[in-house]
Amino acid sequence: MRLELILSLKYPRLPVDNKRIWISFLKNCLAKSGDGRFYKQYFEGTPTKDYTFSIILPDPKFQDNIVVFAKNSLKMIFSADDRKKTGLIFFQAFIQEKGKEFPLPDGNVMKLEKIIQIPEKLITSDRVVFRTAVGGGFVIRSHNKETNKDRFYSFEDEGFSAQMKEVLKYQAVSAGFREADGENIEFTPIRCRKVLVKQYRVLVDCTCGIFELHGNPELLQYFYQAGIGSKHSMGYGMLDVLSER
């Protein structure tokens, strides 16, 4: 399921480091929906999440630690794999929060005004050309347990291909696919670029652009719906289908 959420704001601005706002918004929606019975499923412990989202700001302009945009509204595109009814669970949560005020930093206020269901592609080929959605560059991370430090790779970094294969294999297995499906995924960049995104005061390397994935069509469908790569549930990795080969 893919949804477009139209959100109004009191002031047309946000902190540049705004990822925590969207996580807080999603948590708030689930906490208040159905007596919060789905909250633990997605936000307690370290569950594998089967959704992603991207934020679209109208004509954004970056000023130090603030991003200012052209009007008092923005869009969140929310996408989820449907095998566990995640899309439906969040859709119902969003409906219950429609029209309610959600406080933001610096006295700003956000309100969900409209929810639109977006048609999705059904992938039937084992070769698909994807484009990262607006605001949806994907992240490839390695985590050192001994030092508790992360390293982020963009497509131009040495070691990117090997680490991307590890990340996608882990994501596939965690989602219930066979390990072989994850191991057989092939990534071919077509027109990609590196971007830096600030998250919790840390600059994160992302890859944006157009690329081809070759693999099990059902797994490609999952990546399309749930997002691809590390931190996909934190607003990275949303994909649009350009073509099937």
Calpha distance 79→12 (Å, rounded): 25
CATH topology for the 2-118 domain: Alpha-Beta Plaits (3.30.70)
Calpha distance 69→64 (Å, rounded): 14
Average pLDDT over residues 222-245: 95
Say if residue 45's pLDDT is above 80.
Answer: no
Say if residue 47's pLDDT is above 80.
Answer: no
Query: Is residue 213 within 8 Å of 165, Cβ to Cβ?
Result: no
Say if residue 25's pLDDT is above 80.
Answer: yes
Residue ranges, CATH 3.30.70.1890, the chain: 2-118
Convert the pLDDT of each residue in 186-231 to its tens digit.
Answer: 999 999 999 988 887 778 899 999 999 999 999 999 999 999 999 9
Average pLDDT over residues 121-150: 91
Give whichever of 85-99, 139-153, 186-200 has the largest mean pLDDT. Answer: 85-99
pLDDT at 113: 98
* Residue 200, token pair as written in the block: 């919790």
Write down the CATH number for the domain with range 127-244: 3.30.70.1900
DSSP H or E segment with residue 218: helix 217-226
Query: Helix 217-226 vs helix 160-174: angle between axes, to the nearest 10 degrees?
Result: 90
Burial 8-40 (b: 16+ CB within 10 A, else e): bbeebbbbebbbebbeebbebbbeebeeeebbe
Q: What number of other Cβ atoms are within 10 A of residue 109's Cβ?
A: 12
**In this structure, what is the dihedral angle of CA atoms 163, 168, 171, 176, given to the nearest 10 degrees?**
-140
Q: What percent of the chain has pLDDT over 70?
A: 100
Q: Torsions phi, psi of 59, nearest 5?
A: 50, 60
Say if residue 24's pLDDT is above 80.
Answer: yes
**In this structure, what is the dihedral angle of CA atoms 229, 234, 235, 236, given to the nearest 10 degrees?**
-20
As a whole number, the mean pLDDT across the chain is 93
**For the ranges 67-76, 137-146, 167-176, 216-225, which has the lowest average pLDDT?**
137-146
pLDDT at 64: 83
Q: What number of other Cβ atoms are within 10 A of residue 189's Cβ?
A: 15
* Residue 206, token pair as written in the block: 């992302």
pTM of the predicted protein model = 0.94
Residue with tokens 């139209």: 6
Residue ranges, CATH 3.30.70.1900, the chain: 127-244
> Which amino acid makes up residue 33?
S
